[in-house]
Structure formats: C-alpha cells, structure tokens
Amino acid sequence: MPDEIPDIVVGRLPVYLRALMRMAQESREITSSHELGQRLGISSAQIRKDLSHFGEFGKQGTGYQVKFLVEQLRRILKVDAEWGVALVGAGDLGRALAHYGGFANRGFRIVAVFDNDPAKIGMKLTGGLAVQDSSRLSDAIRQSGWKVAMVAVPADQAQAVADKLVEAGVQAILNYAPITLVVADGIRVQYIDPVVHLQRMTFYL
C-alpha cells in the first residue's frame, strides 16, 4: 500500500499526529477533521482525504476518537515502537539535539553520538551519553542495527559521513549539514537547513 500513497500525504501525517498528541495531552477525547483543520490551517476535506488512504478512522457526524487516531497514526508511521538514532556531530547543534526533549514519546531516541574531534570525544552529554570516536561509527551501527541517523557535521564532511552510514546499514538520514547528499536509491534523506526555510519566506516579503 505505501507505494500508492503520495509522498506529500505522508509528509502531512506527522503534523496530524503531532496535533492529535497535543489534543490528547489536553485530555480531549473526540475531535473532527474540521477542528483539526483549523488548528493546522488545512482544509477538513484534505484531512479526510489524506486519512482515507489508510482506512476508516471516524464516523460521519461523530468525529475521531483522539486516542485511537493517535494509535493508528503511530502504527502507520511506524513510531509505535522506538527507533534508536545515531547522531553524528557533537558541535553546538549536535549537543542541542542530544539534549532535546522532543524526541521522547514520538518514536525516537538518540542512542549514540559520534564526533571526530578529540576535544569532544569522551564528553558526557545530558542523559548519560558520551561522545564516541567517529572511527567507531561503522562498527557500532553494524552491531546495533540502527536504521536511522542524524548528521550534524560541517558541510564538507557530510557526504563522507552519509556514505559511511549507508554502507553500515542506515536507511534514513536527517541531514542538518547545508548540502544535498547523494545516496543510493531506497535510502531516505530529509534536510533541515534554517536558511533554506528563511529564504523561502523572504522571497515573498
């Protein structure tokens, strides 16, 4: 089934899940595509259409059970269990990611942090992780079977790091380095570059 789902639909599911988890935190039990749409600035028809790719999650007129829809979306996005994430790069950004509380309960946990800077190797991070030598990266990934990694190294090191990660078995990379990575077919890469987002807005100013 996943092959038939447009990627743009897949991209909206995490945003739906995030909003629904927030509603659950607020102890909301029922919501509607209308209410969800208003929170997200998306039409209710779009939300219903997106969700209909995956089944029937609500009843006409009674809306969605928040908790049930959260569970379903977690299952669909495969975050009903927790993914161990390898983080490469322990600079300012990498350390901020290692300390970030927002991964918990959303399907991800940073399980190892690597850097090639001798000054950073051995550094203890909040949460008890210690920065490991990047030379251990490939072995650690192979032994642990981690499939997901985050790259927070300088642009000129990112491709080499990505190559290592993929060779060792990583299938999904979230890349913070401001460079487009070249990877084999079937390997997923997502990008976070604040400047790209900012420039996308200044175009309209």
The one-character DSSP state at 187 is -
Residue from the set 139, 155, 160, 167 that interacts with its own copies by CB under 8 A? 155
Region binding its own copies by CB under 8 A among candidate stretches 17-25, 44-52, 115-123, 135-143: 17-25
C-beta closer to its own copies: residue 39 or 48 = 39
Q: Are 152 and 93 in contact (CB under 8 A)?
A: yes
DSSP 3-state of 89: coil
Q: In the bound complex, what is the minimum distance in angstroms from residue 60's beta carbon to its own copies?
A: 25
Query: Which of 55, 61, 102, 128 lies at the binding interface for its own copies (CB under 8 A)?
Result: 102
Listed in sequence order, the DSSP H helices in the chain are 7-25, 33-40, 44-52, 66-76, 92-99, 137-144, 155-168, 194-202
Does residue 115 contact residue 89 with C-beta atoms inside 8 Å? yes
Residues in the site for its own copies, rule: CB under 8 A? 2, 10-11, 13-15, 17-19, 22, 38-41, 76-79, 83, 85, 92-93, 95-97, 99-100, 102-103, 106-108, 147-148, 150, 155, 171-172, 174, 178-180, 182, 188, 190-205
